[in-house]
Amino acid sequence: LLRSSQPLPGPNRRRCREDEQLLGTILDEGDRGFIIDTRSAQAAKQARMSGGGTETKSSYPQWRRLHRALERGRPLQESFIRLVEACSDPSLSMDRWLSRLESSRWLSHVKAALSTACLAAQCLDREDSNVLVHGAEGTDTTLLVTALAHLILDPSCRTLSGFQGLLQREWIEAGHPFHLRCARSASSHGRGKQEAPLFLLFLDCVWQLSRQFPFSLEFGEQLLLTLFDNAYASAYGTFLCNNERERSLCKVKESTHSLWAWLNQPEEKQKYLNPLYSHNPLVIWPSVEPQSIQLWQGLFLRWIRPSQHLDEAWVEIQRLVEGK
């Protein structure tokens, strides 16, 4: 599984021998690879006008391009805002709740993200093919897809430490611009063009996986909520800045503490473990039917509905499993 940003043929359809060679070396003679472009074919074409573009068949003959348009940027932020507003609207009657939910399109984005990640996983696992994922910048939807694909395919990413490692590699070091993306969240109507909840979308997808495979993730919802919180505001330096270069310039490692170090302390760790976890060596294929994708109540209704009864249920589950 590879990731990158978009190639830059531009309006003059430039070619780049080195880039073609690089992609060429990955495939054996006669092999086929897939490129999953997270923009629509149209958007990808239009990108050429501003210097970007796609990998053409003629330049990259062994690679088959698939387009899966995933929402990002301002529209995704709008979607998030609309959902949060719908959840906190006390006047909303039952006969309009679902259409409000639908018009936020958030769940559609969850479905699309999971489907695309599954597609990538399928190409790897079922087709035995190499896959290259990219969008435009390679820092948003690209990472969403590759990180999810890891979880689907690789059981070691589903352990608590494996998941932290995944986040560190596929989100933080891969250069997702946390500082720009996770600035003000849903309540602010600031016009920050760079704000977008990709990381939350990722966490939501992970939550969907945990619901569909309750035994297969070593961590629980509490971890996901904690990560969400820390991406926006944190006592730790882990999610600071936009990329490794900035972190180095700001001397983040020297002047802050790591979130992972704190989470992994024995007393803390306990809170984040899933009592039902049991190592599942297989690939987990989620269902992306609408019935299978649910609103993440634990996050979106966190302050709206009391979670007491559900928390008690988890305490009970813990008690039962530990009693064993």
> Who contacts 259 (Cβ-Cβ below 8 Å, separation ≥6)?
230, 234, 236, 237, 238, 239
| Minimum CB–partner distance for residue 172 and another protein (Å) | 28
| Minimum CB–partner distance for residue 201 and another protein (Å) | 14
The residue (of 77 and 122) whose beta carbon lies closer to another protein is 122
The residue (of 42 and 194) whose beta carbon lies closer to another protein is 42
| Minimum CB–partner distance for residue 110 and another protein (Å) | 8
Per the document, the length of the chain is: 324
> Who contacts 56 (Cβ-Cβ below 8 Å, separation ≥6)?
9, 13
| Minimum CB–partner distance for residue 55 and another protein (Å) | 10
What is the distance between the terminal CA atoms of the chain, rounded to a whole angstrom? 40
Strand residues in the chain grouped as ranges (E): 2-3, 33-37, 63-67, 130-134
Residue 69: Cβ within 10 Å count: 17
| Minimum CB–partner distance for residue 307 and another protein (Å) | 10
Read off the amino acid at residue 96. Answer: R
The CA-CA-CA angle for residues 297, 301, 303, to 5°, reads 140
The residue (of 89 and 268) whose beta carbon lies closer to another protein is 89
The residue (of 92 and 183) whose beta carbon lies closer to another protein is 92
| Minimum CB–partner distance for residue 298 and another protein (Å) | 12
| Minimum CB–partner distance for residue 200 and another protein (Å) | 17
DSSP state of 35: E
The residue (of 249 and 304) whose beta carbon lies closer to another protein is 304
CA dihedral (43, 102, 206, 140) in degrees, to 10, reads 20
Task: Identify which of 104, 196, 216 has the alpha carbon closest to the alpha carbon of residue 154.
Answer: 216
Cα–Cα distances (Å) from 253 to 169, 177, 242, in that order, read 16, 17, 14
| Minimum CB–partner distance for residue 28 and another protein (Å) | 18
The residue (of 248 and 280) whose beta carbon lies closer to another protein is 280
The residue (of 30 and 323) whose beta carbon lies closer to another protein is 323
CA distance 104 to 31: 42
CA distance 189 to 28: 50
The residue (of 103 and 270) whose beta carbon lies closer to another protein is 103
CA distance 254 to 248: 9
